[in-house]
Copies of this chain bind each other. A is one copy, B any other.
């Protein structure tokens, strides 16, 4: 049985610490700063649950979802061509080593 209370997160909401876990190498400070600027730009929304300790949930807004969609195309391009770019880089390395 699934129980949902007022304290539960919506399926598309993510808490601060969970975001940090999902992005290894991103410092707490940069996560905080970046989330603030994203919220300021209306790309993410922030919901604070007034408990002790507080829980904060982030989610993409409609605008944020539309950017995610636009970014998907670029991500696909990167995945398809990363190897080719690496080869070009390696070729340059070899030329510099020889010449």
Contacts and interface: CB of A to CB of B under 8 A. Distances in A.
Interface string A35-49: 000001111000000
A89 interface: yes
Interface size class of A (residues with CB under 8 A): 20 to 34
Interface stretch (A11-19, A23-31, A52-60, A70-78): A70-78
Instruction: State how many copies of this chain the complex holds.
Output: 2
Contacts of A74: 70-71, 73-74
Contacts of A43: 85
B77 A41 contact: no
Contacts of A63: 81, 84-85, 88
Contact of A73 (B41, B70, B92): B70
Interface of A: 40-43, 63, 66-67, 70-71, 73-74, 76-77, 81, 84-85, 87-89, 91-92
23 contacts: A40-B88, A40-B89, A40-B92, A41-B88, A42-B85, A42-B87, A42-B88, A42-B89, A42-B91, A43-B85, A63-B81, A63-B84, A63-B85, A66-B77, A67-B77, A67-B81, A70-B73, A70-B74, A70-B77, A71-B74, A73-B73, A73-B74, A74-B74
